[in-house]
Amino acid sequence: MPSGWGQVDDAVSLRAIQAGLEAGITFFDTADVYGAGHSERIVGQALKGRRDDVVIATKWGNLFDEQSRQITGADPSPAYVAKACEASLRRLGTDYIDLYQWHLGGAALETVPRVLDALETLVARGKVRSYAWSTDDPARARAFAVGPHCRAVQHGLNVLDDAPEMVALCEELGLASINRSPLAMGLLSGKYTSTSRLPDSDIRGKTPAWMKYFDNGVPSPKWLQRLAAVREVLQSDGRTLAQGALAWLWARSPNTIPIPGFKTAEQVTENAGALARGALSPEQLQEVERLLGRV
């Protein structure tokens, strides 16, 4: 299976990360499988000399071929954790990972105790400072949270697609709710319409099993309809649509940490601009819920 989001220019990516640093962004999320290792190399290059100023989160669990940039399988075994960690450390050019996240969201619960033991060994060796599971299943997240250095859950969450059970779990256990797809794979950027068509080189054009917002590269009518319902509220107070989507997440819970994807410095600057305007007001949050029929 291909592992990429279309054509990217390394120089553009480096400038985008630099723009994030200049805007005060300190949390950077990646994974070993993104770009089949290439994303970690770029993140490491961009953050060289700034390591103490940032929090780096990456993930493990998938197997891939760096040369062909293909995902070749998965390895949920506890034995693979240390091997994958060492490879990520080399690509990132660092000697520790702030947040190490299991990327296999549906891995069997019976493997959790041994995976946690492997992670705690990495913590004891100074390779990892904390860990999390990237999963949309609250039962799995709760099982992982028994680990002494489990600090977060990465899960899908955006204004169009709430995850109330997972958010409640994070608040109950004091975990960071790291929000995957905060802009609905770009749908909440506002640049896609019913006539948009993504190229096959973009993974959203291939419709993998986990892709819900696009259907073979075309925005899903269901999600476009939901977006139309709340667009005006999200764009209130001078926000762009993307900024309003991020503002909803901050209003949703004090535990949320959105991780919007980006390709350019301009996108990073727009996303970071949401910080200055802060969260939606309680009244705006309630109006969004009413418009989406969630109250």
Catalytic positions, please?
34
What are residue 155's DSSP bridge partners? 179
197 within 8 A of 218, measured Cβ to Cβ: yes
CB atoms within 10 A of CB 42: 21
What are the tokens at 127?
């390779």
Residue 209: what residue type? A
What sign does the dihedral 235-237-239-243 (CA atoms) show? negative
As a whole number of angstroms, the distance between CA 204 and CA 74 comes to 21
Q: Tell me which DSSP letter residue 202 carries.
A: B
In eight-state DSSP terms, residue 158 is B
- Return the sign of the alpha-carbon dihedral for residues 121, 122, 126, 131: negative
Task: Output phi, psi for 12, to 5 deg.
Answer: -65, -40
Is the separation of the CB atoms in 204 and 5 below 8 Å?
Answer: yes
Q: At what angle do helices 10-22 and 38-46 cross, to 10 degrees?
A: 50
Judge whether 24 and 52 are in contact, CB under 8 Å: no
Measured between alpha carbons, how far is 282 from 280 in angstroms, rounded to an integer? 7
